[in-house]
Structure 1
């Protein structure tokens, strides 16, 4: 089980659906999926944070405002890392959150298994 990341520059385009929207994918990452899933599972639930809401089994979508709020949780997430794979996953997530938060109209999608 892992969580892949996709950054879109607009409302995501799902190829299987009938839509006249153009593809919006800017970049994606799947190399740290399992470590990212492990980290998300360590977060306390029902808090004011955003990252704990990421569903490892379904897709979770953050817009630029939610990504900006989630950036405040990253120091805590980095403190929870127990190995190099988790550190790499957290740093990858940090980069995606920063890019989403600074790109107007963008969306970060956590693609669950």
Structure 2
């Protein structure tokens, strides 16, 4: 199980791969397993934005949600038990920041 990240300029078309490529800005595919492992430490029904991420489905954050989730990164880093998890969370932080600073964008968490 892994979670890949994609930043899109607008909400991507979920059921049409070709259409979703039209909005694609950047992706992160290197740390999927590690990201899923550290996000799994969050309470699934917790109040934090990152607890909303579905490891088996897809989750999308708009720029405002990404901004809020950025504030959760320090706490998530404290939950990391490996260097790979820390690298995954650092990568997630960079993608969240890109989303938060790109008007109209969407960060897509692509679950396994």
TM-score by structure 1 length? 0.91
| Aligned match of 1:40 | 39
| Aligned match of 1:89 | 88
Superposition deviation, residue 18 in structure 1: 9.0
Report matched runs for 1:13-32 at 5 Å.
Answer: 13-14=13-14, 16=16, 23-32=22-31
Residues 42-63 of structure 1: per-residue CA shift (max 9 Å, x gap): 0123332100110000000000
| Aligned match of 1:105 | 104
Name whichever structure is richer in helix by fraction.
2
State which structure, 1 or 2, has the greater radius of gyration over its C-alpha atoms. Answer: 1
The number of residue pairs the alignment matches comes to 112
| CA distance in structure 2 between the partners assigned to 1:47 and 1:15 by the alignment | 28
Unaligned runs of 5+ in 1: none
| Aligned match of 1:8 | 8
Residues 3-28 of structure 1: per-residue CA shift (max 9 Å, x gap): 00000011214573796x87010011
Moved over 4 A (4+): none
Unaligned runs of 5+ in 2: none
TM-score by structure 2 length? 0.92
| Aligned match of 1:71 | 70
Change (3 A) 1:82 1:13: same
Indicate the RMSD between aligned Cα atoms, in angstroms: 2.0
| CA distance in structure 2 between the partners assigned to 1:77 and 1:24 by the alignment | 29
| CA distance in structure 2 between the partners assigned to 1:60 and 1:22 by the alignment | 17
